[in-house]
Amino acid sequence: MKKFLKRTMSLCLTAVLLCSQLPAALAADTTPPLYEQFGCDSAQDFMDSWFYRDVSYDWICERYDIRFGQLRQNPDLAFESAYQGWDWGMVDEYFSTREDFLRDAALQLVVVDSFAFVPPLSVQLNGKTVTFPDAQPEQHADRTMVPLRALLEELGGTVGYADGTVNAAANGRTISFRLGSSELSVTDEKGSQQTQKMDVAPYEKNGRTYVPARFFAEAFNLTVQWDEERQTAVLYDRAALLASVDARFTAFNQWLAAQPKADPAQAMRTALGAKVTYTAFNSIDGNTVYPMSGSVEMVSNEGGCEMKVEADIYALIQLLFGEQSWLYDEKIVPKLEKVKNELQNVSFEAIIDLDSNVLYFRCPEIFRIMNELEPGSVPTIAANAWLKTADVIDADTMDYMELFEQYGTLTSEPTVGAMLLASEEMQSGQMSGAALWSNVQNTASALEAVIGDGALVRSGDRYTFTLDETNEPQSDEWFTGTGYAKGTMTFNVKTGAAEGAFEWRATAYDTDTLITLSFKGNAADASARLSIHSKNESLTEVELYTSVKSAAQPPRKAPAEGSVIVDVDAWMNALTGQIAS
């Protein structure tokens, strides 16, 4: 079952980024072992189920001993923190023994303790935690300082001392400095030398030379990130990581390189279209069909974009209100009927000026509906007006836009490794940098099952992946069912074309679902068809297409002169005042 799901999910290229596994130390434990007390086969099994905070098995055992001892001396403490609102009558009703209750309460208190846990400083190099045998990293002047020799040994480098100067070599580079001096001399692989200024000077402590982790890692051509949650300086060789991933995707990278290219300075026109038909089966009253469609045309360049959307959303709103009718006033559906034509022909336009970070937006049909459905309930907006708002693109969104610009297949030479690493580097700024290395490798491993060199069969310039998986029937207290997945995908590394057709079927409990997917095209022109058929329930059919080419004109930066423009903040203030009155 697990293999079946893994191959299927990989096929859709929605690989799950697996979290780093927590270490399961065996040095300290309770008696009997903590994992046995809670029905686990091993310490690792116990840690696999622990997702509250990144702490070690040793730490949990130590805290558990303390908490359990406190509860044995004063059992009522359990009702103050772990089981607030309980009493002994409830304990006797829901637990076999009071001892079992105290053990469970002790573990709940450990969970609470874990959220206040601050891990010691650590350093990770290329996905592995660096071991410092006789001197540990420390904070100094708001910088992470690390013992130099241990870090160099992990890099496979050397360190020497001569006339008060420390000389270290690794990764083809040599650095030189003096203790107490903020100057760092770096000689690169070509013999070119430059001097850098550090904001914290190296120093000696207990016979060990401490250096600022960031400056020295970057001097050795490593990328540096800081994981605040794990208090970890994350160092990694970006080139080595890319090489290790891309070595497994040489054929697919050739296909990426064969995609149509465009001048990055030229404005691009992107057209997207979708047609969705949802059919709800009803053997008594007859099936109900909900047709939906829409198209998007966007012209963009590095300064901004201009977008126009046309859509038929009446069926979508009708479907949503029908499914959740108990949430809404019964008068809503008749009101929707009055504006059916507008909802079937909705169009809106947007202009984004990235240089000024301003968005202009208008939707005549929606503005007209707002004015007609509940007159006086919202401030009136002229149907042809533009809403204007500033600071619409936040820093994170800008990062994603820069990522697309840098690694989009139409304007660069991307690889699987480059795209995975760039995406993970952005995420690690918001989440966990310590998981970056393993996340990239895990995602690559999942994709390798579909587009890796070992999964493909070559025929000239064409490479084919074949999926033929059958899930053996299973039946237990959690799952009953079977299923299969089959199909092929072929891509041409010379022309950049690709096509494929797949079919999945899964039967579980009382549901039976058949999913089919077919697609063809390249980065500039592609189409796809998706069908999801749930037996005796519904059928969803989706048609998609996309087209990208050079635009004749760059996007506008603002609406035409003389247009009616309404400031969003002013409109919202008017709305707030109207509601208050």
Q: Report yes or no: 22 and 47 within 8 Å, Cβ to Cβ.
A: yes
Residue 331: pLDDT band with limits 50, 70, 90: low
Q: Residues in the chain, how many?
A: 581
Would you give the DSSP letter of residue 424? H
Residue 264, pLDDT score: 74
| C-alpha–C-alpha distance, residues 140 and 168, integer Å | 22
Q: Say whether pLDDT at 21 is over 50.
A: no
Taking only the tens place, the pLDDT of each residue in 86-96 is 999 999 999 99
The listed range with the strongest mean pLDDT (12-16, 156-160, 490-494) is 490-494
Residue 5: pLDDT band with limits 50, 70, 90: very low
State the average pLDDT over residues 233-261.
94
Residue 30, pLDDT score: 64
CA-angle at 18, arms to 483 and 21, nearest 5°: 120
Give the DSSP letter string of 375-409: TTTS----TT-EEEEES-S-HHHHHHHHHHHHH-T
Closest by CA to 296, choosing from 547, 31, 554, is: 547
| C-alpha–C-alpha distance, residues 428 and 229, integer Å | 11
565-567 and 386-390 strand pairing: parallel
Question: How many CB atoms neighbour CB 418 within 10 A?
Answer: 19
Please give the sequence-ordered ranges of beta strands (E in DSSP) within 36-188, or none if there are none: 122-125, 128-129, 138-140, 143-147, 158-162, 165-170, 173-178, 183-187
Task: Choose the weakest-confidence range: 53-62, 301-310, 382-391.
Answer: 53-62
Backbone angles phi, psi at 335, to 5 degrees: -65, -35
State the average pLDDT over residues 79-92.
90
375-405 burial, b at 16+ Cβ within 10 Å, e below that, comes to eeebbebebebbbbbeebbeeeeebebeeee
528-556 burial, b at 16+ Cβ within 10 Å, e below that, comes to bbebbbeeeebbbbbeebbebeebeebbb
Three-state DSSP string of 292-328: EEEEEEEEEECCEEEEEEEEECHHHHHHHHHHCHHHC
Cβ-based neighbours of 286, under 8 Å, separated by 6 or more: none
Quick one: which H or E segment has residue 530? strand 525-534
Closest by CA to 130, choosing from 101, 156, 106, is: 156
Taking only the tens place, the pLDDT of each residue in 194-228 is 999 999 999 999 999 999 999 999 999 999 988 88
Taking the CA atoms of 338, 343, 344 and 347 in sequence, report the sign of the dihedral they define. Answer: positive
Closest by CA to 349, choosing from 558, 84, 82, 578, is: 558
Residue 18: pLDDT band with limits 50, 70, 90: very low
State the average pLDDT over residues 345-366.
91
**Would you give the distance in Å from CA 121 to the centre of its chain?**
26
Taking only the tens place, the pLDDT of each residue in 279-294 is 999 888 889 898 999 9
Give me the half-sphere count of Cα atoms (radius 13 Å) on the Cβ side of residue 521: 14
In this predicted model, which residue has the larger pLDDT, 240 or 13?
A: 240
For residue 55, give the 3-state DSSP assignment.
Answer: coil
Q: Say whether pLDDT at 232 is over 60.
A: yes
Cβ-based neighbours of 309, under 8 Å, separated by 6 or more: 294, 295, 296, 297, 346, 347, 348, 349, 350
In this predicted model, which residue has the larger pLDDT, 530 or 58?
A: 530
Taking only the tens place, the pLDDT of each residue in 154-201 is 999 999 988 889 999 998 999 999 999 999 999 999 999 999 999 999
Q: Say whether pLDDT at 16 is over 70.
A: no
Residue 89, pLDDT score: 92
Token representation of residue 132: 């410092």
Report CA-CA distances (Å) from 259 to 192, 458, 498, 541, 548: 37, 19, 10, 28, 12
Q: Say whether pLDDT at 69 is over 80.
A: yes
Three-state DSSP string of 473-509: EEECCCCEEEEEEEEEEEEECCCCCEEEEEEEEEEEC
| C-alpha–C-alpha distance, residues 315 and 320, integer Å | 9
Quick one: which H or E segment has residue 278? strand 268-280
